[in-house]
Structure formats: C-alpha cells, structure tokens
Structure 1
C-alpha cells in the first residue's frame, strides 16, 4: 500500500447549547474549527486525520496538502511510526493529523480497528467528561443539572479570567448538584504562581477532581511546589508536549494527572507513549479535547481503548456540534461512547458534509 493522493480541508461546524457560546479566558466561540487530512492509497482506500485550528499563532489555511503531496507520495502508510519518524512536517498539528490518517489506513489494510494496533482492547466503551465555558454561578448550576440529566458523571469548566469568578462558578455547580459530578476546572495558564497557590487552597472545600494547567507551561517547579501545599490535585495539559518535558514533570512530581493530546504531542502514538510513561510513575492520564469532530473523537476512543492508563473520564464536546462530518455520527449514551469496531478509526467521513462546512479555497 502506498499513498497516492493527499487532500486538506479547513472546516467550521457550528456549535449548539449548552456548549455554545463557549468562553475561555482567551475568547468566546460558537464553532468548531478543524483541519481535516485525507490520504488516499493506491488501492483506493482512504484514511482521515484531524487537528484543531491554531489559535495562538499563525492559523492553518486548509491548503497544507500542497506542501504534503511531494513528501507523502509513495509512502507506505502502514509503517506509521517509521514513516513519521523519517518525515519532516511544517507544523506539529499537521503532523498529528497525517499520522492519524495513516493509522486509519493501517487499520483498514489489516482489517482491524485501531485500538487493536495499539494493544487493546482495555475497555469497550469510554466514559466522557462534559464541558462548559466560563459561566456565572446560576448558569453553571443550570448546565450542571442538565449534564446530570444527560447521564454524565464528570464536568470540566473553563476558568482563568479571575479567581473569584472561578470560585463562584464552582460554588454554582456544587450548590446545584452537590457531588453528583466530578468537577475539573481549566484556567488555561491564566494565573501567576501566587494566584494559583491561593486559588488551589480556596478550592479545597469543593473537592475538585483536579485543577488543570493553572500556570504557564514552563512553570514545572512551581507546579511541584504548589502541589505539596494543597489538597486540590493539579493536572497539566499545555505542559505535556515532548518526552523530555513529560519526564521532567514526572521526575519532579509536578502533577497528579496528565492530559496529553495528539496535536500537542505529535500524534496518536506519541500520546499513547505519554500515557505509558506516566503509568510507570503511577500518574493517570486523560485524553484532552480541542472541540473535536468525528475523526479526532474516534481517535480518542481508540487511544482510551488501547491504553490502560486512561482510567478517568475523557474530555468531550462532541454532543455540542450542530452536525458532524461523519456519515453516521458517534453516539453518546449516559455519558459514554462505544469504541468503534470497524477497521481503522471505524468511521466514514461524508464528503458532502466536508464540502458544506469547508471554508477557504480547496487544496
């Protein structure tokens, strides 16, 4: 099997309540923006990969296939790890989407779902954490009650604009549903070490599952120090990038939980490796979500099914899409998703829906 065609698409899919409008400390949004990569093999088989749009830096254009075609032409996509190690990509996000599409092709070539190539199955369905943007006390309580009714067990909320706002939001959740939801908040590096330390202590009565990435990604020593001063567990996401950085985090005991993601680590395999290394230190992992469409959501399911050290609910905003780009959207039942059983990612992308939501010129 050889790659014979490469296409890329920038798509924007509207979101619906209660996800939209989704406010982080950076911005508000009501759409999911993703780059889709389509690889076609010489036998006509196609593989799909996905990465989020870049928000902090130069955005992706959807024309990335133009640079990828001479690089990928004739490559055997079933040699995923070796092929990607030998290639150079202009952007790690694009590397992750290409690698995901190769895994999709590799599974289809062998007639097995991706999780079997990753060593699974460890589980047949995956627990999901519902998400919400920064909210007021009352609105946070309303959304929390809705998520309990929908069958979710875990809630992740954005945070990071102001500690008092964060505390009011957390109180809103606890006042509305008590401990019926595990609760995580994510300030997205919004606070100084001093503010983080105080916030972590102020959050102790509310029994968070964890406080995610409250400080800058390079402040590993500070995370280790503050972790020793509070009973609020600390998690890291933006810090979880290279193997060297992961070893530093684990060596310094700087986190209770790690949240790797394909676009930050460079692919499915790199994300799995983070979880395996973290397991050796007794640190559980969660697959991070970047407002994903079907291909990346399916990759999350296969990662969780093929890797024991994803024992907690994995972040998900999939239920907030007005429509997915798949022929048959993935189903959520009582806060869980079944792992796809068809070969590769186990999904079928609908080209008409891709055209419907594509923005910018074709590549």
Structure 2
C-alpha cells in the first residue's frame, strides 16, 4: 500500500435540477467540493461533498475552507489503507464538519480500493445485488406539471417516483392523488415532506392518501419531534421514513430501539462519511428497518459511492435516490450503466468514475 503524498481540493459549480421543497425554491446551481488524494505510487482517489446547509449548516465554500485550512494537512503521510488512522486524525483535529469529512473518507476508500485493484463494493464485503432501482423526483409544483412529468418518467422506463410535499397539505393531497391516478398502481410512489408538516397536517395527509398504496412517508415532522414521529407511526400504521432526523449513530440507535421508524435515509453528507452510514445500516438491519441510500444533487463521484453502498448493504432493499445518472447523463464517464430505471454497478477498481466533464479523473 502507498502513503498519501498530496491532496487537492476543487470547487465546481454546475447547473442541475434542484427541487422545490418545503425549504423553498433554490437556485438551479449547486456547488460541489471535490477532493483528490494521490499516493506515493501515483494512484489517485476521489471524493465529493455537495453539502446541504439545511442539514449540517455547511456551504460548499465553507467545506472547501475547512478541508484546505484544517483537515488536509492531517492526512498527508497516512497509508491509504489505514482508514482508522485517517479518521482519528481528522476527528481529533475538528469535531462535526460532516460534509468535509465525507469527501475525505470517500477519497481514501477510492484510493484504497484502487491499490487493491478492487471495485469499491468489495470494501463493504461484496455486492448483494447486481443492479439498483433508482427514483425519479417531483418537486413541489403545479398538479398538471407533476402529472406530465410523472407520465414521462413512466414512459422512460422508471419504476419509482418520489414526490416532495410539506407546504400546503390540501394541495399536496390533490397533487399526489392526481399523480397516482395518472401513473397507475404498478409505479412505486413515495412522498417526502422535508419536515414541513405539523402533526395534524401529517395525520390528515396520511388519512386522505391511505388508499394510494404509497411506499413511504418520509420525514413528515420536524427532525426534533421524535415523540411525534413515533406516535404518527403507531397511530397510522403506514411506512414512516426518517431523513433529517437520522444524522448520527446515536440517533439511529434511538429510533431503532423504540421502533419509531420503518426506513432510514442514508446521506453521507450528514453521517460524515461511509463508515458511519454502514454502521447505521447495520443498526437498521438488526431492527428490521430498511434503508434508502441517497446522494445530494451530487456529481457521479458521490453518486458512484452511493451506488456501491446500495448494491452491498443488506438493509438497502428499496429504490434509492441516486438520480445524477438520469439528470446529468453526459456530465461524466463511468463504468456504471443506467437502463430501464436500474443502475448496474460496474467492476472497475475504486468508485468506477473515469472523468467528470470538468476534469480528468483517472
């Protein structure tokens, strides 16, 4: 194995499809922080953080600063295979800073896998599934537009749609009912309120949509409302997912122990990286809780990391939010193949990303 001899940080801005949610209607441009680690043998590992300020308080510019000024210096000279040493160093240097640490950790994993000449999924014990179903997404929009897009996704061969809700419960009910009527019941359909509902609105939404066979009701309540989420699950009997509420291993333990949710949404940007996400998924599996692996408007760098995870985690049995392969198909060259709503994980060493449109990777 080789020691890390250099590290570079890049900040990219690219146009993408950013959904209107209960948080508002954001600009259609995202900032991506890319990390490149090079070992003494000339191999390179790549990681990415596309932060969500509403989740961790980090912006792309802030992540870049923390990496360049605080964390990068800590890992020079560490063997690429010694992930525990790397984590100990950056965690000792600074607490928190989940997005910055996830980019570093992913780059270490990519580099270590390439040194072993293994695809990344082998670092997680091997793949359990050859291909992973992905969701297409509908932001908060007018009913006619939502129906039109949903029908297009069905005709393009996708099998699962995730709809954003959480601002106007009556309008949300009408929109979700219209989409279900348009796409039929063979299409999987789930909703995500991004913590936008009160308990009464959440209960009303569930009651009015209980006959629509929705696959999951994700983060209906405020992330701090543990008791409300637990009660909502018990009062309604529907499949309750938590996203904003599950950032740490400790939070996962609490939800699992008290059976307060049915699905955990895994975002590396909030867990602080791969290892914590794997630990949370193991907690979930032990409690019979399923997981959804989600990238955050990323480029294919983190999208590929999420794909490798989704193919290998026992609890990841639902469709996953790895949509950059559908929304930005010409923005990267990878060994992974999207067809008929499924991503097939490739077998090249590391994460399997050869290049981004903006830069050469291998």
Scaled by the length of structure 2, the TM-score of the pair is 0.91
Cα distance, 1:228 vs. partner? 1.1
Between the aligned partners of 1:3 and 1:270, the Cα distance in structure 2 is 22
RMSD over aligned Cα atoms: 1.9
Cα distance, 1:193 vs. partner? 2.0
1:25 matched to which residue of 2?
Answer: 22
Cα distance, 1:104 vs. partner? 0.1
Contact 1:223 1:255 in 2 (8 A): yes
Q: Determine helix, strand or coil for the equivalent of 1:98.
A: helix
1:178 to 176, 184, 187: 184
Q: Determine helix, strand or coil for the equivalent of 1:309.
A: coil
2:327 matched to which residue of 1?
Answer: 320
1:228-287 deviations in whole A, cap 9, x for unaligned?
111432100111111111011011111111111111111112111111111111111110
Cα distance, 1:84 vs. partner? 0.9
Instruction: Tell me which moved more, 132-141 or 91-100.
Output: 132-141
Q: Structure 2, unaligned stretches of length 5 or more?
A: none
2:342 matched to which residue of 1?
Answer: 336
Cα distance, 1:329 vs. partner? 7.4
Contact 2:4 2:76 in 1 (8 A): yes
Distance verdict in 2 for CA 1:128–1:189, change over 3 Å = same
Q: Which runs of structure 2 are paired with 1:343-358 in the superposition (5 Å)?
A: 343-350=349-356, 353-354=358-359
Runs of 4+ in 1 over 4 A off after TM superposition: none
Aligned length: 349
Cα distance, 1:82 vs. partner? 3.9
1:165-213 deviations in whole A, cap 9, x for unaligned?
2112201211211112111111111112222222222221222111100
Cα distance, 1:27 vs. partner? 2.9
Contact 2:75 2:86 in 1 (8 A): no
1:79 maps onto 2:85 in alignment: no
Q: Which runs of structure 2 are paired with 1:280-299 in the superposition (5 Å)?
A: 280-299=286-305
Scaled by the length of structure 1, the TM-score of the pair is 0.91
Between the aligned partners of 1:329 and 1:31, the Cα distance in structure 2 is 26
Between the aligned partners of 2:341 and 2:212, the Cα distance in structure 1 is 22
Cα distance, 1:21 vs. partner? 6.0
Q: Structure 1, unaligned stretches of length 5 or more?
A: 356-363
1:237 matched to which residue of 2?
Answer: 243
